[in-house]
Amino acid sequence: HGEAGIVLSEGKVNLVYSRLAKRLRAIGLRSFREYCELLRSKQGIDERQAMISAMTTNVTRFFREPHHFDFLKSTVLPPLVADARRGGRVRIWSAGCSSGEEPYSIAMTLLGMMPDALSHDILILATDIDPEMIARGRAATYAQSQVASIPDKFRANALETGKGGQHSRISECLRSLIRFNELNLLGPWPMKGKFDVIFCRNVVIYFD
């Protein structure tokens, strides 16, 4: 709670036990008492991050809650696209991006409306507290089961099929629209400018 704002009720005891028991085995500790002592020590900085990563639930998929993206397309983006064409600046933030499916879905929606978006001052910032999720988002490589939820109308321009067809990589035009960065929402925010759109879905439900 102190590090990341995540609230863990008494009902989460089994979840906490199962996830952190794996951490104890990974680093060779015998008890949770030893683990707590490590977390409180100066030497435990890296493990505190590993603990937060272990306790963070990363449930996501492309175009999760499709009506959100329908609203983005029909209501939110049209005036922003018009402003960008007049030379304006457009910034969109995916504040809990997990492994990248949400910001890539935003980018697909945007490029579907504005194929020349890369030639304008448009950028999507994607942040998450978990560095492993940020690395996956930057890698932009997903199993075929993961990309199955991408609508057919976006597939041709969105995906680069990998060797053997087991995985697909998000196309360069989409990757170029997004900047992935690690960010704890309870810590200092380095961004100085305003955002036109902020996606903060399935994030604040973990806070009090």
Query: Which sequence positions are flagged as catalytic?
Result: 19, 128
Helix (H, G, I), strand (E, B) or coil at 203: coil
Q: Are strands 167-170 and 159-161 parallel, antiparallel or unpaired?
A: antiparallel
Contact 196, 93 (CB under 8 A): no
Pairing of strands 90-94, 197-199: parallel
Q: Do 171 and 160 form a contact (C-beta atoms < 8 A)?
A: yes
Spatial distance between the Cα atoms of 172 and 158, rounded to a whole number of angstroms: 8
Ramachandran area for residue 9 (φ above 0: left; ψ -120 to 50: alpha; else beta) = beta
Q: What are phi and psi of 115, to 5 degrees?
A: -60, -25
Report the alpha-carbon distance of residue 158 to residue 105 in Å, rounded: 10
- Provide φ and ψ at 36, rounded to 5°: -60, -40
Q: Which residue has the tokens 């922003």?
A: 80
